[in-house]
Amino acid sequence: MMKRTFHVLLTLVSLTFSGLLLGQDCNSPEQLCAEATNEAEVLDQLNPLAFNCINANYSLFYSFTTNNSSTNSEGVTVNISNIDCVGANGADLVFATVVSFDPANPCSAALYGLESPCESDTLQLSLETGLLQPETTYMLILATDHDPAISDCLFDVSIEGEAIDIDACCDANVTLGQEAIFTVEGGDNNNGVDYIWSGDYLDENTGDEISVFPEETTIYQVTGNVAGCEVTDFVTAFIGPPVSIPNAITPNDDGINDLWTISGINEFEAAHVTVFDRWGQVVFNDIGYNEPWDGTNRGKFLPTGTYYYVIELNSLNVNIEPLTGYIAIIH
């Protein structure tokens, strides 16, 4: 019985050192996701590797997959931070690089392609790749000669970049009552059903395109998935005044400020504009405001003075309070 138990233990030790049972070897790398950090990772697997600047006994493999947003994706940045790898003679080096590989032979170093610089450090590393192909899986390799019998070789690892994220477009400047349209791409599902939007004034909260009629400046968040990783992006609808109202006109037929031109009011077909004199009598009343007011009442120019206006925009999309103020006629 003792001999059989001893034999089984030897077999397990042999398989572990060859990397066949480990979840971070070249056959089964751990996935990296944007917006997430793999913390307190331990580099202690005996997987000897010789590739480029790496010639070390212990190695780990991670994978990440790019999105589907373009023919050539942008790059990514991989950060290895909080390295704590103290050996018998001080801090030991950690080596790192990003590679392309043959999916049929993920452990063949001869088929690796260098996608980032191959670098080493004892404290932290930051690797930037070049352009990456869309919908393609790459591997991050970490390696060291640190002896795990002395201490754990610890580190945190994270990844970021447009190539592994979704892209919401685009911040919009609209006036109150106007429509803002936002789109998103890059997620796993091309028809957009997996995108979920959140924010105020949403009628529909799913899809790769939404339209909103916000009544105030509003930030919208969209959530999607890239290779199974949940990621988010943000867009903002900046809301400006619905119309621009001059506070004076000089109807002297010189072509300058002769008319009360209200910029943006043509966006509101049902707008109702009313002007009163100081006694509260209506001197101008119009629905639609297709022709700017020229300061007359029943064909006669009104005298110099200050008049009070009420503008009801009557938007079909959002609730806009009546706009009130004063307009001066100067002759």
Do 59 and 137 belong together in one domain? yes
Q: Give backbone dihedrals phi and psi of 16, rounded to 5 degrees, phi first.
A: -65, -45
Which of 326, 159, 321 is closest to 241 using CA atoms?
A: 321
Q: Is the pLDDT score of 49 beyond 80?
A: yes
Whether the Cβ atoms of residue 115 and residue 129 lie closer than 8 Å to each other: yes
Q: Is the peptide bond before 118 cis (omega within 30 degrees of 0)?
A: no
- Lowest-confidence pick of 86-90, 111-115, 267-271, 315-319: 315-319
Phi, psi of 26 (to 5 degrees): -65, -20
Mean pLDDT value across residues 66-94? 88
| pLDDT over threshold 50, residue 65 | yes
One domain, residues 157 and 204? no
Place of tokens 């917006």: 35
Q: Is the pTM of this model over 0.85?
A: no
Distances (CA, A) of 331 to 247, 260, 297, 300, 305: 14, 14, 15, 13, 9
CA-CA distance, 321 to 229, in Å (whole number)? 44
Same-domain check for residues 156 and 73: yes
Question: Which of 195, 224, 240 is the C-terminal boundary of a domain?
Answer: 240
CA-CA distances (angstroms) from residue 180 to 32, 225, 233? 34, 24, 17
Q: If DSSP codes are grouped into helix, strand and coil, which group holds residue 244?
A: strand
Both tokens of residue 91?
A: 């801090």
Average model confidence (pLDDT) for the chain? 89
Beta bridge partners of 172: 237
DSSP state of 310: E
Query: Domain check: are 42 and 178 in the same one?
Result: no
Locate all alpha helices (DSSP H) within the chain, ordered by sequence.
Answer: 2-18
β-strand pairing of 154-160 with 90-91: unpaired
State pLDDT tens for residues 275-291. Answer: 999 999 999 999 999 99
Cα separation, 218 vs 182, whole angstroms = 12
Same domain, 39 and 122: yes
For the chain, give the percent of residues with pLDDT over 90: 77
The domain tally of the chain equals 3
Buried/exposed 52-65: b ≥16 CB within 10 Å, e otherwise: eebebebbbbbbbb
- Read off the pLDDT of residues 29-43 as tens digits, 9 standing for 90 and up: 999 999 999 999 999
Q: What is the CATH number of the domain that holds 172?
A: 2.60.40.10
Q: Which two tokens stand for residue 175?
A: 């006036």
Please give the DSSP secondary-structure letter assigned to residue 144: E
Residue 163 to residues 39, 228, 275: CA-CA distances in angstroms?
Answer: 22, 14, 57
Quote the tokens at residue 158. Answer: 């994270």
Tell me the C-alpha distance between 249 and 258, whole Å: 6
The amino acid sitting at 212 is V
Domain that holds residue 222: 167-240
Distance CA 81, CA 96 (A): 12
| Single residue among 201, 223, 240 that ends a domain in this structure | 240
The last residue of one of the domains, among 197, 218, 240, is 240
Cβ neighbour number for residue 279 with a 10 Å cutoff: 6
Maximum C-alpha span of the chain: 117
Regarding whether 12 and 96 lie in a shared domain, the answer is yes
What tens digit of pLDDT does each residue of 186-203 get? Answer: 998 655 558 999 999 998
CATH assignment at residue 42: 2.60.120.380
150 & 212 share domain: no
